[in-house]
Chains A and B, each alone.
Chain A
Amino acid sequence: MKREIEKGTKTGTRERRITPYLMLAPLLLGLFLLVYYPLISTLRLSLYRYAWNKPQAGMKFVKFENYKRIFTDKREFRPSMRNTAKLTAISTSLCVLIGMGLALFVDREFAGKTVYVAILLLPTMIAPVVSGLTWKFMFDGMFGAVNYIVTAFGMQPHAWLSDKATALGCIIVADVWQYSPFVFLVMLASLQAIPVELYEAAKIDGASGWRLFFKLKLPMVIPQLLLVGVIRLMDTFRLFDLVYLMTNGGPAGSTQTIGFLAYQRTFRHFKMGEGAVIAVFILIAILLLSFYFIRSLLENARGLAR
């Protein structure tokens, strides 16, 4: 159908051939100059030793030395991998559980729904800098509201962010607070997209409560749930800003994530090659994770084109 229209028009065939490239030129130029070229350049950089604060020392080709150094680094890289794994696993599952639970709870008609949904969305819309600030303040040993609540329950106040045992937990709380509303929003939209007829059919079968959830709702929204889970996974895996803002990787490296380590090596320790290795590692991990996402986006695009 689409092809017929394309071929059916005889006037201006040359214009028709050139126009799409002209229209896509800014996007493609931007993509290649500012996304793909830096990407390849980062790959190349990972094979060199280069300190950008001393450009006169030049770039030295060192083959895979940076890789060897990073992957055998027990002092920083491995602990940061452990932290990242912990953070990603806990934060993603909490986001998905809370977001999905909330969506199921709100998925009905009631007065004031838009207002409630709008308020719930707020944490997702604010700058990560503000959520970092907010939670650093909440967990502050002196002024923090968390200590106020804790002492109200008869417990001792605690310096949450400067204790190795609790610092990563604080970051998880901030992350879950900011992004479970995103999961909630996506899941609410997909729950509401379930056709009414299916509910009616389920009602005739006498399904309600948990049975309705497992037999109808969950199977209908599982693709979206997986997708949004993958999005959260990719985002927490590379988490940088909350760490930078709330703990700066400390205390004693207990909140060091690989996203933060990549930044630190590259821009604070000036070891561009080593930073690039970590960046490449994050990139590959995320691309592997995103395979499912890319596929479903492509399918979505094809579905639209039909």
Chain B
Amino acid sequence: MKDSQTIRYGRKGFRAVRRALFYIVLTAIVLLFILPFWIVLSTSLRSRVETFSDALVLFFRPTIEHYLRVVAEENFPRYFFNSLIVATCTTMLVSYLGALSAFALTRFLFKGYHAVTLSIITARMFPPIALLPAFFLLASRLGIVDTKAVLIFAHTSYGLPFIVFMMLGFFYAVPRDLDEAARIDGCSWFGVFNRVLLPNVAPGLAAAAILSFVWSWNEFLFALVLTRANSKTLPVTVSEFLTFTQVDWQGLTSMGTILIVPAVVITVFAQKHLVRGLTTGAVKA
């Protein structure tokens, strides 16, 4: 015992070097991963980019002229709010309905239980492109193409299976004595859900809300097919600028930066919830 300890303390200097090396390598890897972000951000903040060597110069006088220019475009605020409204409505619907469904699936045994579970899990697999042709036809027959509502419906129904499945674990973790007690006190099942369960699964609800918001905010294919000039979202707007032959890189990098702000904020401030949400299904809680 004593011997091994002397050996360990004798290697203290060696361990310090190893530690330093570890940090150097890790920092290098992380820098490599965020280098593209730096390039996008710094391009958007330069007054003018002449050639490719400009994008990597470290020191320059930042300017927000390109942001002002982009935001001043007549329709930008509108598309920004479209994105915000769609993502917010989707988040509220998905979180509440997802929790409600997870509650029903963990608290009741009913006829068709397995069929319902299977249909939810399978729905999570379907590629959007397999639903879109028919979805689009249906929407255009109903005359609801290019409305925010159709996009909210699409995002909600496509996002729900994932969220329901994510929440099952949180609901199983709440002891059933709690809802039985509330039942005896005369609560209806919806009352049990709203008053007893929801506060108890708050972390799960947070994870669900965060993931659905980011997902809906980022989503591209449904938005591309189902919206036009009226209810376009930001990703579609950006994609239109990107596919021009003469690309305005500085305007585009400004828009891209605006588009990633929510994701960055959420990743920084809600990392714990995010990790839990992203690893569901793959790693047991």
Contacts and interface: CB of A to CB of B under 8 A. Distances in A.
Interface of A: 2-3, 5-6, 9, 11-12, 15-17, 19-21, 23-24, 26-28, 30-31, 33-42, 45, 52, 102, 105-106, 110, 114, 116-130, 132-138, 140, 142-145, 147-148, 157, 177, 181-182, 185-186, 189-190, 193, 224, 227-228, 231, 234, 238, 240-241, 244-245, 248, 259, 262-263, 266-267, 272, 275-276, 279-280, 282-283, 286-287, 290, 293-294, 297-298, 300-301, 303-305
B253 A137 contact: yes
B40 interface: yes
Contact of B22 (A110, A114, A290, A303): A110
Interface in B136-161: 136-138, 140, 153-154, 156-158, 160-161
Contacts of B275: 117, 185, 189
Given A6-B109, A186-B283, A133 B238 contact: yes
A15 B176 contact: no
Residue among B119, B130, B239, B274 with the highest chain A CB neighbour number at 10 A: B130
Contacts of A41: 133-134, 137-138
A28 B115 CA distance: 11
Interface stretch (B5-13, B58-66, B72-80, B100-108): B100-108
Given A117-B271, A177-B33, A294 B125 contact: yes
A24 B256 CA distance: 38
Given A125-B266, A129-B218, A294-B122, A119 B252 contact: no
* 3 A-B pairs closest in CB distance: A41-B134, A127-B218, A30-B157
B26 interface: yes
9 contacts: A23-B101, A37-B138, A102-B29, A118-B267, A129-B220, A145-B35, A182-B278, A186-B282, A286-B126
Contacts of B98: 27
A259 B129 contact: yes
A302 B160 CA distance: 20
A304 B172 contact: yes
B282 A42 contact: no
B16 interface: no
Interface of B: 19, 22-23, 25-26, 29-30, 33-37, 39-40, 43, 49, 51-56, 97-98, 100-101, 103-110, 116-127, 129-138, 140, 153-154, 156-158, 160-161, 164-165, 168-169, 172, 176, 180, 183, 188-190, 193, 214, 217-221, 224-225, 235, 238-239, 242-243, 247, 249, 252-253, 256, 259-260, 263-264, 266-268, 271, 274-275, 278-279, 281-284
Main secondary structure of the interface of B (DSSP, over half): helix
A2 B109 contact: yes
B22 to A, nearest CB: 7
A130 B260 CA distance: 7
A130 B259 CA distance: 7
Contacts of B22: 110
A221 to B, nearest CB: 9
Contact of B252 (A23, A133, A182, A279): A133
A224 B219 CA distance: 26
B168 to A, nearest CB: 6
A35 B138 contact: no
B157 A119 contact: no
Given A19-B189, A127-B263, A293-B125, A121 B271 contact: yes
Contact of B131 (A5, A42, A185): A42
Given A15-B189, A185-B278, A27 B160 contact: yes
Contacts of B157: 30-31, 33-35
Contact of A126 (B39, B156, B218): B218
B134 A297 contact: no
B239 A105 contact: no
A5 B180 contact: yes
B119 A31 contact: yes
A21 B214 CA distance: 30
Contact of B100 (A23, A31, A224): A23
Given A41-B134, A134-B256, A24 B52 contact: no
Given A121-B267, A125-B266, A177-B36, A39 B126 contact: yes
A129 B131 contact: no
Residue with the greatest number of chain A CB neighbours at <10 A, chosen from B134, B243, B275: B134
A143 B97 contact: no
Contacts of A305: 106, 172
